[in-house]
């Protein structure tokens, strides 16, 4: 989605989780969703009420991949 659409993103995950299977695995129980900033709190509230575990891994921005470590 991000690369083919030329949408950059800031990746904000702990370096210990930075591995290929975590980032690119095709696990049927793991999905990446994109939420507008204005809707983020509502989305997190809904996810928590639904008892779904989640991890905020970053934010879209510009046209490049950036990583914080």
pLDDT of residue 69: 55
Residues of the chain with pLDDT under 50: none
Domain count, the chain: 1
pLDDT of residue 10: 80
Whether residue 4 is contained in a domain is answered as no
**15 Cβ contact list (under 8 Å, min separation 6):** 69
pLDDT of residue 59: 86
Task: Convert 27-50 to b/e letters by CB count within 10 Å (16 or more is b).
Answer: eeeeeeeeeeeeeeeeeeeeeeee
Full domain range(s) for residue 26: 9-67
Whether residue 2 is contained in a domain is answered as no
């Amino acid at each position: 989605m991000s690369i083919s659409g030329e949408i950059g993103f800031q990746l904000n995950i702990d370096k210990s989780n930075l591995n290929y299977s975590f980032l690119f695995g095709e696990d049927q129980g793991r999905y990446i969703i994109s939420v507008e900033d204005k809707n983020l709190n509502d989305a997190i509230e809904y996810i928590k009420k639904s008892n779904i575990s989640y991890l905020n891994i970053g934010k879209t921005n510009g046209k490049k991949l950036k990583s914080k470590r």
